[in-house]
Amino acid sequence: MTIQFRPNTTQTHRGPTAVRRRRIQEGRPFPLGATWDGIGVNFALFSANATKVELCLFDAAGENEIERIELPEYTNEIYHGYLRDVRPGQIYGYRVYGPYEPDAGHRFNPNKLLIDPYAKQLIGEVKWDHALFGYTIGHDDGDLSFDERDSAAFVPKCRVVDPAFTWGDERRPNVFWDRTIFYETHVKGYTMRHPAVEERDRGKFAGLMTSEVIDYIRSLGVTSVELMPIHAFVDDSYLVDKGLRNYWGYNSIGFFAPDPRYLASNSIAEFKELVSAFHHARLEVILDVVYNHTAEGNELGPTISFKGIDNATYYRLLPDQKRYYINDTGTGNTVNTSHPRVMQLVTDSLRYWASEMRVDGFRFDLATILAREPTGFSEESSFLHATMQDPVLSEVKLIAEPWDCGPGGYQVGRFPPGWAEWNDGYRDTIRSFWRGDDGMIPAVASKFSASADLFDARGRKPWASVNFITAHDGFTLHDLVSYNDKHNEANGEDNRDGHSHNLSYNYGVEGPTDDQEMVETRFRQLRNFFATLLFSRGTPMILAGDEFARTQGGNNNAYAQDNEIGWVDWNITPESRELAEFVQKLIILRQSLAMLRRGTFLHGTFDEELGVKDVAWLKPEGKEFVDGDWADAEAKCFGVLLDGRAQETGIRRPGTDATMLIVMNAHFDVVNFTLPEAPGGKRWRCVIDTNLPIREELAPFDFGTEYMVTGRSFLVFMLEPDDTAESEDARRSFAHVSEAFARSAGDRLRV
């Protein structure tokens, strides 16, 4: 079906300025978007298949369209024009003309006001109405029909911005990868119930930069705050109909504009102020970004931006049925990053946030999508090439969620050097082990060593494995040890949504309990999870609020819960505060233990020249595992001996780090563990015992001692060096850890 256009004579313009004419100049095809140069504004919009583009100007409230101006020039598939009398603050949108031919992939409809893909700020939100759709809902021809209703009243508008901002003495923290600890959180969820945040700032960037909030995050010891999506996004119509919202924000419609709901000041400078405040606190800002799909959905979705600008270019369509969309994302559409202009859109967006907004890195939702070519995922994709060679993007942190819903979508370990990746195998393995599942020790040994089988190639380092036990998607850590099953009834889908493979355990009661023994078991398990996470090689990621046992009441898919279920509760109990202080202690120790941050993977091979193994895996009797021991499915207690004399870097010389012994016992009962003798030391000192979380001193234990390891507990011992001259470096390392232990006992969280 092909529609030929005629001027829209039904459009009503209100106000005396509707017929006012402005002087339009040719302008330039670059940069794309609306660019204020101090005199006027250049407008540039890419479309390979459009026949005409009209710039629509609105009044200050964005309610009345006051003028339409045809962009006069078309250069290299870019429509452009320049208006000298337009200033920052001007509200605008586009109407794009061209064939309405869904079977050929074209869905142009100038009755639909469109968001500029390069808009730096949006005002308003999508108001669901049939006018938003390019076709007439209910028509016998479905999406092949053509709708003539004007959508301007129901779509967000774009605003021209002035990018000027005084950064002062702000500097990027530039946290080394080996010291990075991610802290994943949500702008609104983290601030809505915080007692120190002013009511007007709750749920906003302004709330997140409240001094008490920043002080708490900094005192916890994490280095990099990963914000869930802040790009402009849309609340799905089916959620709005149920009185819910797309709380998480994985439904982007603008890749340059922060979502208006997070701006207390109605100015994008508010986000820059947030970044500046975090940087002054030596905290990095990482953005969770969604470039794999947009909120326009499939052929039955609305026409809000890309679909009406150039559907056949922006989206991957079925090659032999261009009416329909390739849906490797599970959301209805897939952004076509194989096209150079679409790739430019993504990389321009990333550079904008890294340069203009000064963020420190990006976590890419369903990153496999971005590296897909028509033949499937490829390490040689244009997206991966573009990011790695770009002088701006190659200097920031790049983190992949390395999977999608398409064929061959699971690609953990396949991203190129320079990238870090979420390691869901770590999550599942550690959950299974502490739940008490049989036969988990070999897998735990692998994941504890930064998954060398996946990442030890092409010069990649252990930090490439982003280790996590919980994230926004799934149970909180508290709920992981409190519920056997998901409880998503509040989502309105009869508890059918969310995954059921949680690898969780409630220890006897589903949900809250007054049984103090059970409560203590649960909190000990929380300590076990945190200790495992923070003492594993790799880059740890903590879900915000887990450190003080935040709950979602068993909801493991709170994507639509913009309420007390999804928001962090800052009414912290004494037990929860003790847990948070224990996590703070673990972080202090991790940052002090160079052994945990080494840039080498653990393989357990004997170094003939140095006469040492980097790691030895021990049975409870203090002897090394032999081949048959790894196959013992009932073994649930083991030790990890990390020898500080092992080679630290590529330079062939003995290491000088403190030697460590880590013991993990997933049995429900006590196991006697014999503390082994270690060269260069005279005794062991206990640093961590999750059964005794509060220790005032490094308790000494002689070699050969049978330590009673409490059921379900995690222990860390440091080797106290002997008095030989050769141990001078080891003594300094041990002293450094001792000082860190003392400091961790004295530091208190600012909460």
Can you read off the two tokens belonging to residue 520?
A: 């203590």
Helix (H), strand (E), coil (C) string for 116-174: CCCCCCEECCCCCCHHHCCCCCCCCCHHHCCCCCCCHHHCCEEECCCCCCCCCCCCCCC
Helix (H), strand (E), coil (C) string for 537-548: CCEEEEECCHHH
Residue at 215: amino acid letter? D
DSSP string, 577-589: HHHHHHHHHHHHH
The CA distance from 622 to 606, in Å, is 18
Burial class (CB in 10 A: 0-12, 13-18, 19+), 684: buried
Closest CA to 306 of 57, 32, 116, 30: 116
Q: Is the dihedral of CA 494, 495, 498, 499 positive or negative?
A: negative
The CA distance from 413 to 418, in Å, is 12
List phi, psi (to 5°) of 429.
-65, -45
Q: Where are the beta strands (DSSP E) in 320-386?
A: 321-325, 361-364, 372-373, 376-377
Question: Do 114 and 95 contact (CB within 8 A), yes or no?
Answer: yes
Residue 288, Ramachandran bin (φ over 0: left; ψ between -120 and 50: alpha; else beta): beta
Question: Do 455 and 413 contact (CB within 8 A), yes or no?
Answer: yes
Please list the active-site residues: 365, 401
The CA distance from 620 to 665, in Å, is 9
Question: Do 190 and 551 contact (CB within 8 A), yes or no?
Answer: no
Question: Do 426 and 538 contact (CB within 8 A), yes or no?
Answer: yes
**Bridge partners of 321?**
318
Strand, helix or coil for residue 178: helix
